[in-house]
Amino acid sequence: MKRGWPALFIAVIILSLAALLPAFSEQPAGGGAKLPNPFGAPPTDDLDQATNLGGAVNSAASDFGPIISPDGNALYFTSDRPGGLGGQDVWVSYREGGEWGEAKNLGAPINTEDDEGPDSFSLSENALYFTACNRPGGLGKCDLYVSFNLGGRWTRPENLGAPVNTEHNESNASISSNGETLVFASDRPGGLGGTDLWYAKRGEMMKKLIPGFSTQGRWEGPANLGPGVNTSDWDGVGFLMPDNETLYFSSRGRGGSGLADIFRSSYLDGAWTEAENVGDIINTTRDDIYFTLPGSGELAYFSSDRSGGLGMEDVYSIPIPLLVPKCRMVIIRGSVSDEESGSPLAARVSVKDPATSRVVAEVESNPDSGAFQVIVELERLEIQVSEKGHSDYSEKVEIEEGENCAMLTRSIKLKPAQ
């Protein structure tokens, strides 16, 4: 799936990109270690601004497709390193003291002896959408699944079923911030060629879904995103921004800096606009396909097979201000403290879309400083802060018309509960 900074020229790109699994013979090599590298010469280009996340996250194997949890404290990615359940698995690294800790296998029931990779989070459902291949009961080689986090445990994954999944290959789901649109990659017939990006709308029954219930048959028939996005070559790993009208994706069919480049398209007047290349600050002569930006923090994350890494593909970060200098995001930065003592509080900070009442971003303020930061893309928003033992805080904000970059600072003092 938006932006802000004081007087800023922050740039934001979000591409919640995830596991291109080895189902597609035409997909970029970053889709998995099982694919041979078709490119011949080793990569030669590096972004000086990019930082390798190091050995706690990366390994000598393939590590790619990073996505960040809604609270910004967990990094999920795909890896085929030893120590997993088999094939490509979902691994997770937790932020510890501002650094990413040693990655751990997410385990069952999401991982199996076959291939899995994380795609995107649904904050409103507390759910992880992911791709799995060769799973018993699937409709095709690779299907889309969802698992809900209930009480800190992941539920048994549910196949999204027809008409989203088919006997062909579906992967890389991106769920919209309002939870009602699913963008995904598929090589099903009826597209423009190769792998295309498609979208499906949540049906009326799906809108009433209770977490843990079967999701099969509750999506409306998918539609192709059309020629503004898709080409006759490979197009995939789309990510919908929180406005649900801006899409970042990768393509091999549009030229650019190298193999697969990152592009952006907007939904205007009932169609997706002709995609524009994001530029050389991100795109290189290699495959550039897995980018994500958490709702909190100041770094974008991506994976690359560029030289100097630890393995075939590694996970990297890059400062947001180095990205495209156009933004419509709102950054909410501040602190939470006790009104009487002034002591910092570890509070839950949520931002809701008042039009739909959906939570679009949620973080916890730092227990040592009370500091927090949330990034959203809304013209109207509601800030809610809660902490056990204190009264709740709520504030509705409307961004001035024409102000496409904004920053809100808040020093929030919570009253002790009576």
The 10s digit of each residue's pLDDT in 271-304 is 999 999 877 777 777 777 777 777 666 788 888 8
Residue among 258, 292, 265 nearest 13 (CA):
292
**SS3 labels along 156-208:** CCEECCCCCCCCCCEEEEEECCCCCEEEEEECCCCCCCCCEEEEEEECHHHHC
**pTM (two decimals):** 0.74
C-alpha to C-alpha distance for 131 and 140, rounded to whole angstroms: 11
**CA distances to 24, 168, 241, 266, 364 from 270, in Å:** 30, 27, 17, 10, 37
Residue type, 213: F
Q: How far is CA 14 from the centre of its chain?
A: 7
Distance CA 200, CA 155 (A): 23
3-state secondary structure of 212: coil
- Amino acid identity of residue 203, one-letter, is G
Q: Provide DSSP, 39-105.
A: T-SPP----TT-EE--TTT--SSBEEEEEE-TTS-EEEEEE--TTSSSSSEEEEEEEETTEE---EE
Q: How many CB atoms lie within 10 A of CB 228?
A: 16
* 157-177 per-position pLDDT tens digit: 999 999 999 999 999 999 987
Cα-based distances in Å from 403 to 298, 326, 354, 399, 410: 21, 12, 19, 7, 19
SS3 117: strand
Q: How far, rounded to the nearest angstrom, does the alpha carbon of residue 266 sit from its chain's CA centroid?
A: 18
> What is the predicted pLDDT for the residue at 57?
97
Q: What is the DSSP string of 218-246?
A: -BPPPEE--TTT--SS-EEEEEE-TTSSE
Q: How many angstroms from the chain centroid is the CA of residue 221?
A: 23
Q: What is the pLDDT of residue 401?
A: 60
pLDDT in single tens digits along all 418 residues of the chain: 333 333 333 333 333 333 333 333 345 544 432 222 222 233 334 445 778 999 999 999 999 999 988 777 899 999 999 999 999 999 999 988 888 999 999 999 999 999 999 999 887 678 999 999 999 999 999 999 999 988 889 999 999 999 999 999 999 999 987 788 999 999 999 999 999 999 999 876 544 444 444 454 589 999 999 999 999 999 999 888 767 788 888 898 888 777 888 888 989 888 999 999 877 777 777 777 777 777 666 788 888 887 788 988 889 887 776 664 445 668 788 899 999 999 999 999 999 988 888 888 888 888 888 888 887 877 889 999 999 999 999 999 987 765 555 778 899 999 998 7
